[in-house]
Structure 1
Amino acid sequence: MRFTWFNLMPWPDLPDDFRTRYRSVWVDIPNRLYDPVRGNAIYHEYMDQLEYADSLGFDGIGVNEHHQNGYGLMPSPNIIAATLTRRTSRAAICVIGNSIALYNPPIRVAEE
């Protein structure tokens, strides 16, 4: 059995009344709910967690793309995967969900 660490990198600071005030966290979440200073800190924390998984002995580190919504702050998984290769040495970097439709030209997915 193999184990992969995966983190959607969700935005942790949605207001308590989010479900009643807003329609979705997916497409039309208001930008005003994002604090760039907090965003910088949480992004570093999430990257540290992904890197730490390597030192804990996880077989893989999973990355995906959700493009800055409430579910996940991770943009192109290719960029995150490339970043992780600098600070990990053992775990496989697993790109889970690379949306070809979002790339123009789509060949970028293969190239990256």
Structure 2
Amino acid sequence: MQTDNTSPITINIRQNTGTYIAKAPGLKPTASCSTGPLQAAEALAKKLGLAPGLIQEQSIGGLGYGCSRFSHSGELATNTSDKAHCPNCGICHTRTETCNEAKARVGGAV
């Protein structure tokens, strides 16, 4: 599940019985959300330790009904707020430490 800071990531969304399911090709984690496709993509980005605000929808013809595609620059999330606790992961860390590094430091799964 490791990503580097330079690899763009594609997130594919499909709708299944009222739930939007997000998957990234080549990466194991998935995420789902009943609110909408963007929210499912943001949930997957958070699981991957990516900055959720950098997701962009791709307008590609030929995708089936209930399917969406988003892209992400691959930039890892970090604490961009002026508060001690990161809004992305809830862990207290600096701007120079990524959310994935903070999770590993406190013993959480990355």
| Greater gyration radius | 1
Higher strand share: 2
Could you state the TM-score of these two structures normalised by the residue count of structure 1?
0.27
Which has more helix, going by share of residues?
A: 1
Normalised TM-score (structure 2)? 0.27
User: Higher relative contact order at CA 8 Å, sep ≥6: structure 1 or structure 2?
Assistant: 1
